[in-house]
Amino acid sequence: MKLFVTGGAGFIGSNFIRFSLANHPEDEIVNFDALTYSGNLENLTEVEKHPQYTFVKGDITDREAVFSVMEQMDVVVHFAAETHVDRSIMNPDIFVRTNVLGTQHILDAVRVFDVRYHHISTDEVFGHLGPDDPPFDEQTSYTPRSPYSASKAASDHLVRAYISTYGIRATISNCSNNYGPYMFPEKLIPLFISNLMEGKKVPVYGDGQQIRDWIHVDDHNRGVDMILRSGKIGETYCLGGGCEITNLSLTKQLLRIMGQSDDMIEFVRDRPGHDRRYAINFSKAKKELGWEPQITFEEGLRDMVNWYETHEDWVARCKSGAYRTYYDRQYGTG
């Protein structure tokens, strides 16, 4: 099988590529990534010489570039997206362009070349839950509350429209918050780890009582792989970690792991439209695919802290943007 992976130099995509090469050595993988601020080829140094792996620098908003490499593919796994909520609030334009228009270009190529397609989405498209509401599932209505989640909701709707209108062979997965190694240090957990490594306080929005469900990136990618190989065409699968925890409790757990006191917490003004609670019911994936999370949050968080503490240079290069020169050294500037 020849896989076309968009956004494969990012956090989740790079972990998926390593997972696939380790578990399906017969497959070929083409990594298509624009290498924007969070796309980092250093995430894939251990596989860059792998005979089954190829990197192509390209932007999903460039229709011709997408079509030029899609024809020979069997499967598309579409990770590429703008994902940071705060950035979407400051500049919605690029989120609409990448997440909506870019997805349309991928879907048009999928339609023309009859390629199997899997779409990576998020639980944020569902809005937020009250304290007594049941978790999100595949039947939950969409009520996005940020430019980021609205752009992802639009891309999900496009996929379903192409399934109904053009009969493309597609599936969708909506996952909860991912965490794990190679996570760009602007997101909550790696930001807090890197701040504490530098002796800085950690900023907690509002009262810190926002609840999130966390899934380890390896559990998520195992679920995506199972959907690709066993999922029913036209269906959506929710993938969750079975771990609801407040941001404040997560922060205190992280402080304990890193031997720090609660004095390192700095409460800051809350984000506009900040969703209060996410939770995912993954019973459909468990029933139909035999999938469920295997990595406990405590185990995964400790492993993540250890990874960041032993990869200080990687963190520093990410925060400074210095990792971008890696592409120039490996592939040239053309």
CATH number at residue 58: 3.40.50.720
334: in domain: no
Provide the residue range defining the domain that includes 52. 2-328
Choose among 31, 34, 119, 23: nearest CA to 77. Answer: 119
Whether 114 contacts 233, CB under 8 Å: no
333: in domain: no
The percent helix, strand, coil of the chain (3-state, each to 5) is: 45, 20, 35
Number of domains in the chain: 1
239-261: pLDDT as tens digits:
999 999 999 999 999 999 999 99
Question: What pLDDT, on the 0 to 100 scale, is given for residue 103?
Answer: 98
Q: pLDDT 10s digit of each residue in the chain, 334 long?
A: 999 999 999 999 999 999 999 999 999 999 999 998 778 899 999 999 999 999 999 999 999 999 999 999 999 999 999 987 888 999 999 999 999 999 999 999 999 999 999 999 999 999 999 999 999 999 999 999 999 999 999 999 999 999 999 999 999 999 999 999 999 887 899 999 999 999 999 999 999 999 999 999 999 999 999 999 999 999 999 999 999 999 999 999 999 999 999 999 999 999 887 889 999 999 999 999 999 999 999 999 999 999 999 999 988 888 887 555 544 444 443 3
Q: Give the strand order in the sheet containing 177-179.
A: 177-179, 211-216, 244-246
Question: What pLDDT, on the 0 to 100 scale, is given for residue 322?
Answer: 56
Strands 53-57 vs 28-33: parallel, antiparallel or unpaired: parallel
Q: Which of 59, 123, 137, 275 is catalytic?
A: 123
Q: Which of 42, 124, 213, 244 is catalytic?
A: 124
- State how far the Cα of 300 lies from the Cα of 316, in Å rounded to an integer: 22
- State how far the Cα of 94 lies from the Cα of 106, in Å rounded to an integer: 17
What are the tokens at 117? 């397609």
Question: What pLDDT, on the 0 to 100 scale, is given for residue 331?
Answer: 46
Q: What are the residue ranges of helices labelled H in the chain?
A: 11-23, 63-70, 85-90, 92-96, 103-113, 147-166, 188-197, 217-230, 247-257, 283-289, 297-309, 312-320, 325-331
Question: What pLDDT, on the 0 to 100 scale, is given for residue 334?
Answer: 35
Q: Which of 28, 42, 117, 148 is catalytic?
A: 148
Choose among 175, 323, 294: nearest CA to 238. Answer: 175
**Residue 148 bears catalytic tag:** yes
Angle between helices 63-70 and 103-113 in degrees, nearest 10: 30
96: in domain: yes
Question: What pLDDT, on the 0 to 100 scale, is given for residue 86?
Answer: 83
Amino acid identity at 184: F
